[in-house]
Chains A and B, each alone.
Chain A
Amino acid sequence: MHDLKPVTALGQSAPVAETIGTITIAENDTLALASVAARMGHEEACHAILKKLIGAVPGPGKAQLHDPQAGFWTGPDQWMVSAPRETHELLADTLTPMFGQTATITEQSGAWVCFDVTGAAMSDLCERLCAVPIRKMDAGGALRTMIHQMGCFVIRCKADDHIRILGPRASANSLHHALTTAAHSIA
């Protein structure tokens, strides 16, 4: 067992949460992430394994909100699968034998920062950040968009006032700044 201590994407030892007006912006440091890309000629087999794993094969713009593994569409025959890091630290290593030659698995846990944004004014906040049609999105909607020049995924979660934003980890501070600034704007 190694003794290296991870830091959050914001560079802290623990996730940061902040409430501004009705909006709470909380860094979610609990996710393990791995990309799944179907290999040519093995698409159907890959779909079957994915469906068994997370309950469905999310189509474009969709996420499958599922425990413990969830997933969302990232491109043609590509998905990002997530799971609690505490129990699935080696998610990619776990998925690789599970999918075998049907899919390419790549560890992505360190590549993203994740913010859970909740609150009554969530839609107003989202409208100040990106072009996703937040008021038309149902739970399980997952769209790639730009937030302040950063490529991000916005996932509409089960609660009406909850979105999850995944952005580039190296720009976590910039993304956090964008979120909090927008929250102050609408507060």
Chain B
Amino acid sequence: MSQKNRIAGGQIDRAKTLKFSFDGRSYAGHPGDTLASALLANGVRLMGRSFKYHRPRGALSAGSEEPNALVELRGGARQEPNTRATTVELFDGLLAKSQNRMGSLRFDLLAINDRLSNFLTAGFYYKTFMWPAAFWEKLYEPVIRKAAGLGSLSGKDDPDVYDKGFLHCDLLIIGAGPAGLAAALTAGRAGADVILADEDFSMGGRLNSETFAVGDRSGADWAAQTVAELASLSNVRLMPRTTIIGAFDHGTYGGLERVSDHLHSPDAGKPRQILWRIYAKRALLCAGATERPIAFDNNDRPGVMLGAALRTYANRFGAAADRRVAIFTNNDDGHRTARDLHAKGVRISAVVDVRPDAPLHPDYQVLRGAQVVDTRGRLGLSFIDVRQADGTMRVVECGALGVSGGWNPNVHLTCHQRGLPVWDDAIAAFVPGENLPVGMAVAGAANGVFTTAGALRSGAAGAVAALDLGQTPDLPQTEDAPVNITPFWYVKGCARAWLDQQNDVTVKDVKLSHQEGFRSVEHLKRYTTLGMATDQGKTSNMGGLAIMAELAGKTIPQVGTTIFRPPYTPTAIGAFAGRHRGQGFHPTRLTPSHKWAQEQGAVFVEVGNWMRAQWFPQPGETHWRQSVDREVLATRKSVGVCDVTTLGKIDVQGTDAAAFLNTIYCNGFAKLAVGKVRYGLMLREDGIAMDDGTAARLAEDHFVVTTTTANALPVYRHMEFVHQCLFPDLDVQLISTTEAWAQYAVAGPNSRKLLEKIVDQDISNAAFPFMACANITVCGGLRARLFRISFSGELAYEIAVPTMYGDALIRRIMAEGAEFGVTPYGTEALGVMRIEKGHATGNEINGTTTAQNLGMGRMVSTKKDSIGAVLSRREGLNRADDLRQVGIKPVDPAEKVPAGAHLMNAQGPVDAVHDQGYVTSACYSPNLGHHIALGFLKNGGNRIGEELRLVSPLTGVETRVEIVSPHFIDPEGERLRA
């Protein structure tokens, strides 16, 4: 198709032709075009279907406020719905499809909805689909879901990547129209660090759409010259294609830069978009204004557009929506559109102005005091019906109608910190209020200054004020016409006049909302969906407010506005995710033995960010249980080794270190001897158990505390809180050493023999008894630490070396232990052995249990104060039938004991009222030859030997179990003291 509506002029590069496709049909455009301008140039007005009634729609605007011309852009995994054709920068090979249709765009089967509009008014779904109730889930909801929504997703992973970034500046200028450019020039020349961001790919704002001069050149040329000067300043960062989407706390702003959206696909390794967090000392909002439509019957027909948009398409893009155009206006700006189009050779069928004193033009007719009351045309505008001042009707032929109802300052970002705009009668619009985000000021049309000269002045003054420069620069002379407007929102008596074209909200819907009592502006929004779609009501909100005000007998400011929230324009979820997706969702932490474990074929499990070896499969093992059973048996028989670096290690030093730990732990630490380790239990302030671990005293003023892997950070944070806030007078220094030391558990009856080959000092039972600790050396002199502690219940040690030697140490342990058949074991075997031993861990210290529940009630010392001690003595936590940790084994050894199952009495009902307790940890014990479990049972300490039922109603499990001691292996602790 030829570009039949391409007209002279514009800022497109006609020397180059770009091919693109819309709904499978090929078209041509030029660099500098948007998809919408190229379609209009090709004579395509019909671009989409509306949300509810599937009415044919074309572009209403030429910018990001567009409600109608939404397309699915690109194909395959890159298909993106709801892309505004008015902001899509044309590129060669662009592929676009219309959306929200069943069948073709011209023959949409769901257009039947329009015929049923009497049944589908605002809030219809609140009143219908009420019965029969059973139909909701199986019929109504699926049907509604299928019909609802705008556009479709590919369902495939986004192949593109998104970056995040961080910028700092003295002044962030939001919008590069006349005000923004004047501000940037002022601030930039003064040497300030300036960021100038604009959502458009071409900076200049309305200057690119107008024909009047700025100084001695066209507005567009002045803008280009200014941008060139700004680009030459090293202290100014120009950010075209960047939308400031939100004003956040403390002067931070979100900016979405579309780095590659104007390309067929991003270059290799390059992001599609960057979400910038901008730290701005000051910000100047120069976001301009958005023209608003007037509501009248069938004002949504393709070809009915905003007047200034027609001007933009003609002046900037060299595209006419049609060769015959009419204008409907209530202000002088509509006449500017008529003049510009006329000058471009477009025939002006009529200018319809509601004002009786509208200015006349010698070359075309101006109908004073007239109103457009209806339109005609099947898939696009052909005629408008005009009611003239004397009440007579007249039909005017035109293919496009430019509607100009005045301008609304783009105050959105001024409201992101709950600021409210205020009404300005002079321009019949809301302007920014006083309660702006910290550091923000507003200039230009966004502040209600609607002349170009005023915008330049206020932009420059804004920069001067923000940076305290003292002097405004010389500014060029330019257009300074006053605003002449007679507020006019809708044509009285209209039946189907569209306010929110994206959500199909009509004047009648607002009236219905008022009639049904939804009169608050917030209720109006929710009841009718006015302003709720991707355009967030940029062209529709004001009309709805005006009508509601009229119906309620209030003024528009009395009705007020809804709250504007970020993002200013739709933002891809991918941009918020940035690189944090897939394997990059979070960083990983690798243990010092990771590489070695990989070489052994270990199966890893994520534990927080840590990657821990879960088990080490051997040839011939086809099930994880085979590996785990082998590892457990080998460890208990001879010796096993496990990387326990992930356990939190906190270095506690200072003259008050012992006093500090005595406060942190519920049991005593003040008298712990140097060279000794003690098991400790930490309570929360409410008396509930927080974490357990060990504290090793390496010197009078030096302890090393270990925590569980999961609680390494919370415990450290807790200790810092206690130190900084509760006991700041204690001389204590804390620092995490979790990653500084590679630590291995060496467990089993041969563990000493193995370590004796590595440790340089005497570690005999006499020299290094159970719960001993020391700074030692290994392998001929490497500094190391040794702790004789045991999680498995075996004779065991934990040995630590500086992390960089961790890889070497595990290899040395394996080599020296070969003669004992040393076996690496993973977290599964670790878990089995600690359950066999009856050691509690996160499953038991689960945020609901007390020391009493854990069978450690006597550990809470009464001879000292410690955090949580007082509240642990609450009556409610110390009842006779409180839960106690017990061991559980199946009566039939062949039965499993499922974790999470609940204990019920041998006889009686199975329900929550009769619940006796629950299983916290369960496993198969290869040593005992059957499943075992730990759990909590009411009055459990006195019920050893009792037979209960273990039930899991969800999975249909019911197993007879016997309550036993939680210490299945070596209850007397002889092995670990051996």
Q: A: which residues have CB within 8 A of B?
A: 1-9, 11, 35, 37, 39-41, 78, 90, 93, 101, 104, 106-112, 127-133, 135-136, 148-150, 168-175, 177-178, 181-182, 184-185, 187
Task: State the main secondary structure of chain A at its contact with B.
Answer: mixed
- The reply on B914 being an interface residue by CB < 8 A is no
B586, B731, B733, B739: the one contacting A110 at CB < 8 Å is B739
Q: Which residues of A contact B167 (CB under 8 A)?
A: 127
In whole angstroms, how far apart are the Cα atoms of A135 and B168 in the complex?
8
Given contact pairs A40-B731, A169-B739, A5 touches B609 in the complex (Cβ within 8 A): no
Instruction: Select from chain A the residue with minimum beta-carbon distance to B274.
Output: A128
B163 touches A128 (CB 8 A): yes
Q: Which residues of A contact B595 (CB under 8 A)?
A: 7, 11
A127 touches B804 (CB 8 A): no
A111 touches B580 (CB 8 A): no
A40 touches B587 (CB 8 A): no
Q: Which residues of B contact A6 (CB under 8 A)?
A: 802, 804-805, 808
B590 touches A39 (CB 8 A): no
* Known interface pairs A131-B279, A149-B586, A178-B587; 6 further A-B residue pairs with C-beta atoms within 8 A, sorted by A's residue number: A5-B808, A40-B655, A101-B655, A110-B741, A127-B166, A171-B609
- The reply on B594 being an interface residue by CB < 8 A is yes
Encode B791-813 as 1/0 by CB contact (under 8 A) with A. 00000000001111111110010
Max count, chain B CB within 10 A of own CB: residue among A132, A168, A170: A170
A39 touches B164 (CB 8 A): no
B587 touches A149 (CB 8 A): yes
B579 touches A39 (CB 8 A): no
In the assembled complex, the CB of A97 is this many whole angstroms from the nearest CB of chain B, namely: 13
In whole angstroms, how far apart are the Cα atoms of A171 and B193 in the complex?
35
In whole angstroms, how far apart are the Cα atoms of A185 and B269 in the complex?
6
Q: Which residues of B contact A37 (CB under 8 A)?
A: 653, 733, 735
In whole angstroms, how far apart are the Cα atoms of A108 and B731 in the complex?
21
B274, B589, B651: the one contacting A168 at CB < 8 Å is B589
Q: Which residues of A contact B279 (CB under 8 A)?
A: 131, 133
B269 touches A184 (CB 8 A): yes
A108 touches B591 (CB 8 A): no
A2 touches B587 (CB 8 A): no
A173 touches B588 (CB 8 A): yes
Interface size on B, residues (CB 8 A): 60
- The reply on B487 being an interface residue by CB < 8 A is no
A106 touches B584 (CB 8 A): no
In whole angstroms, how far apart are the Cα atoms of A26 and B653 in the complex?
34
Given contact pairs A37-B735, A111-B740, A181 touches B579 in the complex (Cβ within 8 A): yes
Instruction: Select from chain B the residue with minimum beta-carbon distance to A7.
Output: B807
Q: Which 8 A-B pairs have the closest CB atoms?
A: A110-B803, A174-B587, A184-B269, A6-B804, A170-B589, A111-B740, A40-B731, A4-B808
In the assembled complex, the CB of B851 is this many whole angstroms from the nearest CB of chain A, namely: 31
B579 touches A110 (CB 8 A): no
Q: Which residues of B contact A41 (CB under 8 A)?
A: 731
A1, A128, A171: the one contacting B165 at CB < 8 Å is A128
In the assembled complex, the CB of B890 is this many whole angstroms from the nearest CB of chain A, namely: 40
Instruction: Select from chain A the residue with minimum beta-carbon distance to B730.
Output: A40
B731 touches A170 (CB 8 A): no
In whole angstroms, how far apart are the Cα atoms of A171 and B591 in the complex?
9
In whole angstroms, how far apart are the Cα atoms of A177 and B589 in the complex?
13
Instruction: Select from chain A the residue with minimum beta-carbon distance to B801.
Output: A4
Given contact pairs A109-B802, A173-B590, A127 touches B165 in the complex (Cβ within 8 A): yes
A131 touches B735 (CB 8 A): no
Q: Which residues of A contact B806 (CB under 8 A)?
A: 110
- The reply on B644 being an interface residue by CB < 8 A is no
Encode B562-601 as 1/0 by CB contact (under 8 A) with A. 0000000000000000011000101111110011000000
B580 touches A11 (CB 8 A): no
